[in-house]
Amino acid sequence: MPDHHAPFIVAGGGIGGLAAALVLARDGHAVQVLEQADAFGEIGAGIQLGPNVFRLFTHLGLADAIRDVAYFPPNLVMRDVRSGELVVQTPVGAHTLAAYGQPYGVIYRVDLHHVLLDACRAQPAIALQVKSKLRSFTQDAAGVEVQLADGRRLRGRALIGADGLWSRVREQIVGDGKPRVSGHIAYRAVLPIADVPPPLFSPDVVLWGGEKTHLVHYPLRRGELFNLVAVFHSDRYEEGWNTFGDPDELHQRFAQAAEPVRALLAKIETWKMWVLCDREPVADWSRGRATLLGDAAHPMLQYLAQGACMAIEDAVTLGAALRATPHDVPAAFAAYCRARYLRTGRVQLTARFYGEIYHASGVMRELRNRLFQSGREAAGFIGTHWLYEGIDPDRALG
């Protein structure tokens, strides 16, 4: 017989894993979060938060904590990376509040992780465990057993794989091999706002787009930091998110960029890089008492800025599925997948498309500019109303 008091085991202590743990604990479940690193922490630079996820922050009781550390840009701006010409500018402050009832913000990934970690630490039902790398798992009708890299074995009611793009849990559930490499890599850096020369500063989220390259920058942490992410075509492939980049390669790729772009890139001496990868969408990422969440389930390219948002949506939907069938975990996990796979698959494929048009040249560039300047929709939201309208946390199963 299943032990309904055994913990849900969450593999991965990142944004998705902590969000899932928080949702489950708030519903009265015991949760054990396994983090492979020596401490709970996050790496990376800034991330964008659409109005779809702010609705869920309110649902989770995190809205005030997020607002305390987030930054709310006045506009989304796109410029041509070579000529510097303005492609489009759209206001996001009043517009998103009017259209969706929620704001559009940006946040330092570390700050979002801290908000979730603090909320989890305040929940007695959540056990946070470091130096616990999952190697494999087995399951039976009563629960799951997780085998860790150091030889330990843990027993739980079910397993949630929130272990990212290179998920070990996915290997056993989906088994689709290595991620799909996009051919682009991203360099990231964060500057104190005082180190940004005033002529180069913008309060907006600015994307300089062009053939095989783009640069994104915006303020972070209430405007105290300045985030830069430079993306360009490369055949380089290394797993992970925290590899040092090669400044010479970066400057070579942006040698023909507009002067403000080159000046901003010159302000950074040390870059961290990661390879942009995703996977083909799948309709089912659950097997019995094991399921996936976030990048482990549906890794996506960054061009739609929705990776963290989709992971939090996953967590809320998973909680709703378990409330609907609290004594049948496999059925709840299957319902969770059915509720999520089309929406997350659409985000994965739309992100690929946005990557193509951000890096467009020739006729595609002209068509992109005309589309963005059409005036028929707020330009920053062309084709994405379905996304930013989000999910109803009280009806997350549809």
> Residue 107: inside a domain, yes or no?
yes
> Residue 272: inside a domain, yes or no?
no
> What was the pLDDT predicted at 359?
84
Average confidence (pLDDT) over 50-77: 96
> Residue 201: inside a domain, yes or no?
no
Measured CA to CA, the distance from residue 29 to residue 272 in angstroms comes to 38
> Residue 108: inside a domain, yes or no?
yes
Burial 53-88 (b: 16+ CB within 10 A, else e): bbbbbebbebbebbeebbbbbebbbbbbbbeeeebb
Domain count, the chain: 1
- pLDDT at position 236 over 70: no
The CATH number linked to 141 is 3.50.50.60
> Residue 207: inside a domain, yes or no?
no
**Of 206, 139, 203, residue with least CA distance to 169:** 139
- 71 among known catalytic residues: no
> Residue 216: inside a domain, yes or no?
no
> Residue 329: inside a domain, yes or no?
yes
| Domain with 290 in it | 8-178+279-395
> Residue 224: inside a domain, yes or no?
no
Provide the phi-psi class of 284: left if phi over 0, else alpha when psi is between -120 and 50, else beta.
beta
> What was the pLDDT predicted at 379?
44
Catalytic hit among 71, 100, 187, 218 = 218
**Of 78, 83, 87, residue with least CA distance to 258:** 83
Model pLDDT for residues 380-396, shown as the tens digit of each residue = 556 678 898 899 998 88
Model pLDDT for residues 355-381, shown as the tens digit of each residue = 888 888 888 887 777 777 655 455 455
Model pLDDT for residues 72-115, shown as the tens digit of each residue = 999 999 999 988 988 888 888 888 888 899 999 999 999 999 99
